[in-house]
Amino acid sequence: MQIGKIYVSELSTSKHIFNNYHFCRGNSNLRKTRVGVIIKGSGTYIYLNKKLNVNEGDIVFIPENIYCYSEWHGTPEIEVIYVSCFMHYEQFLYEPQIICCDKEIKNDLLKIANLLSIDYIKELEAYSLFYKLLKKVLPQMVQSNISYDKALQTAIEFITDNWNNDFSISDLAKRCCVSESTLYHLFQKELGQTPVNFLNSIKINNAIKYLENSNYSISTISRLVGFNSENHFRKVFRSITETTPSKFKKKS
CA 160 to chain centre: 11
Contact 202, 163 (CB under 8 A): yes
Q: Tell me the one-letter amino acid at 232.
A: H
One DSSP character per residue, 49-105 reads TEEEEE-TT-EEEE-TTS--EEEEEEEEEEEEEEEEEEEEESS--B-SEEPP--HHH
CA distance 250 to 19: 12
> Quick check: do 6-140 and 150-251 share a fold?
no
CA distance 38 to 34: 12
CA distance 159 to 181: 17
Please tell us whether the domain made up of 6-140 is placed in CATH 2.60.120.280: yes
User: Is the preceding omega at residue 96 within 30 degrees of 0, hence cis?
Assistant: no
| Selection from 22, 27, 25, 50 nearest residue 38 by Cα | 22
Torsion sign (Cα): 16, 80, 65, 186: negative
Contact 61, 114 (CB under 8 A): no
Confidence of residue 252 (pLDDT cuts 50, 70, 90): low
> What residues contact 156, with CB distance under 8 A and at least 6 apart?
26, 67, 69, 198
Confidence of residue 1 (pLDDT cuts 50, 70, 90): very low
| Selection from 212, 63, 216, 54 nearest residue 144 by Cα | 63
Bridge-partner residues for 42, per DSSP? Answer: 73
Confidence of residue 161 (pLDDT cuts 50, 70, 90): confident
Stretch 146-174: mean pLDDT: 86
CA distance 226 to 164: 7
Q: Distances from the Cα of 4 to the Cαs of 123, 137, 216, in angstroms?
A: 25, 16, 55
> What residues contact 103, with CB distance under 8 A and at least 6 apart?
none
pLDDT tens across 12-37, in order?
Answer: 999 999 888 887 866 544 578 999 99
Q: Domain ranges for the chain, please list them.
A: 6-140, 150-251
pLDDT of res. 182? 95
| Selection from 88, 81, 43, 80 nearest residue 64 by Cα | 88
Confidence of residue 3 (pLDDT cuts 50, 70, 90): very low
The answer to whether residue 178 scores a pLDDT higher than 90 is: yes
CA distance 181 to 152: 13
Q: What is the pTM of this model?
A: 0.69
CA 207 to chain centre: 18
> How many Cβ atoms are within 10 Å of 203's Cβ, its own excluded?
21
Q: Tell me the one-letter amino acid at 228.
A: N
| Selection from 244, 242, 235 nearest residue 211 by Cα | 244
Domain 150-251 in this protein, CATH class: mainly alpha
